[in-house]
Amino acid sequence: MEVNFKTKNEAVYELLRRDILQGKIKPREKIVISDLSRKFGFSEIPIREAVRKLESEGFLVITPHVGIAVSKIDPDEIIEFYLIRTELESLAAKLATPLINQEDLEYLVQKNREMELALEQNDCEALNSLNKEFHLKIYRAASRLHLYKFIVELWEKINWIRSVFFLTPQIAQDSLKEHNEIIEGLKKGDADLVAKLIRQQKQNSLKAIADRFF
């Protein structure tokens, strides 16, 4: 029974999350538990669990006596997050550059290859995950615990926006090229160049998101 319940819970979570990421359920659109129960053919218990998990991740907002809705996209908030991330991530990249070793470089090259495959398969979930792994590997190498923690927290706050962002193939292709340039900069040990490339990538990301959503 426990295994079956978990399976239903996870299935509803993945289906709802996918619909939000792909824009099938729009920002501010209402979610009704009973409607989802009929749609998926499950009881309301696993659906409520999935909804609570999506709320904790920022995908949904639950308002007492009002209901459940997909989180809205606040342009000012997104811009603020990106401005902060640009500064923190370029700093982390600059600090990490002299500490990056051969094993780290091989990891980054491999992640970019995996991103190329995910792009060919139009797997936006994998693209988002691999892109995150690529960047956090660099920032972790800086060995600045608080800086890394701040970056991760900000990344998580806008994670679902970036997932939608990667549904656009051209943007993903541009990101792969940018990653290759970052890797080359790391190989040369050019901290200023790497920081500049990270800064440019964040600015490009913000512009692409602004063009798409705002």
Q: Among 158, 160, 136, 159, which residue's Cα sits nearest to residue 88?
A: 136
Banded model confidence at residue 1, pLDDT cuts 50, 70, 90: very low
Query: What are 49-83's pLDDT values in tens digits?
Result: 999 999 887 789 999 989 999 988 777 888 888 89
Q: Where are the domains of the chain?
A: 2-70, 75-213
pLDDT: which is higher, 181 or 124: 181
User: CATH topology of 2-70 equal to that of 75-213?
Assistant: no
Helices H, strands E: what count in the chain?
10, 3
Question: CA-based Rg of the chain, rounded to a whole angstrom?
Answer: 19
Please tell me the CATH code under which domain 75-213 is placed: 1.20.120.530
Rounded CA separation 27/23 (Å): 8
* Contact in structure between 158 and 128 (CB atoms under 8 Å): no
Q: Which of 103, 132, 104, 100 is nearest to 118 (CA)?
A: 132
**Domain 2-70: assigned CATH number:** 1.10.10.10
pTM value? 0.74
C-alpha–C-alpha distance, residues 25 and 8, integer Å: 20
For 127-169, what is each residue's pLDDT tens digit?
A: 888 999 999 999 999 999 999 999 998 887 776 666 655 556 6
